[in-house]
Amino acid sequence: MPITEPLAQSPLSADLQAILRCLSCGSKLENDRAAGFVCPACKRVYPNMQGIARFVDAQHYAASFGFQWHRYQKTQLDHDELRESERHFLMKTALRPEDLKGKLVLDVGCGMGRFAEVATRWGARVVGVDLSAAAEVAAKNLASRDFVAFQADVFALPFAPESFDVIYSIGVLHHTPDCEAAVKALDKYLKPGGLLVVWLYSGYNKWYRFSDFWRRYTHKMKPETLHRMLKVAVPFFYNLQQGLKHVPLVGRPAAGLVHHVFPVNRQKDPEARMLDTFDWYSPKYQSKHTYEQVFKWYEAMGMEDMRVGEISIAVRGRKPVKAH
Ligand SMILES: C[S@@+](CC[C@H](N)C(=O)[O-])C[C@H]1O[C@@H](n2cnc3c(N)ncnc32)[C@H](O)[C@@H]1O
Strands (E), the chain: 30-32, 36-38, 45-49, 52-54, 104-108, 125-130, 147-151, 164-170, 190-199, 304-308, 314-318
For ligand 1, atom 17: residue with the closest CA? 131
Query: Is pLDDT above 70 for 6?
Result: no
Query: Does 93 sit in the ligand 1 pocket, CB within 6 Å?
Result: no
CA of 2 to the centre of ligand 1 (A): 17
Tell me the domain boundaries of the chain. Answer: 52-202+290-318, 209-281
Alpha-carbon distance of 154 to 173, in angstroms, equals 8
For ligand 1, atom 13: residue with the closest CA? 109
Query: Is pLDDT above 60 for 8?
Result: no
Top-tier CATH class for 52-202+290-318: alpha beta
Q: Residue 138: its pLDDT value, please?
A: 98
- Cis upstream peptide for 313 (omega within 30°): yes
How large a percentage of the chain has pLDDT more than 70?
97
**What is the dihedral sign for C-alpha 122, 127, 130, 134?**
positive
- The answer to whether the predicted template modeling score (pTM) of the entire model surpasses 0.85 is yes
Query: Is pLDDT above 90 for 96?
Result: yes
Query: Does 65 sit in the ligand 1 pocket, CB within 6 Å?
Result: yes
Of 54, 84, 131, best ligand 1 pocket probe by most atoms within 8 Å of the beta carbon: 131
CA of 3 to the centre of ligand 1 (A): 18
Per-residue model confidence as pLDDT tens digits over 71-81: 999 999 999 98
Query: Does 128 sit in the ligand 1 pocket, CB within 6 Å?
Result: no
CA of 124 to the centre of ligand 1 (A): 20
In degrees rounded to 5, what are phi and psi of residue 38? -130, 140
Bridge partners of 314, per DSSP, are 199
Using CA atoms, how far residue 209 sits from 69, 178, 198, 214, in Å, is 26, 20, 23, 9
Query: Does 73 sit in the ligand 1 pocket, CB within 6 Å?
Result: no
Per-residue model confidence as pLDDT tens digits over 102-113: 999 999 999 999
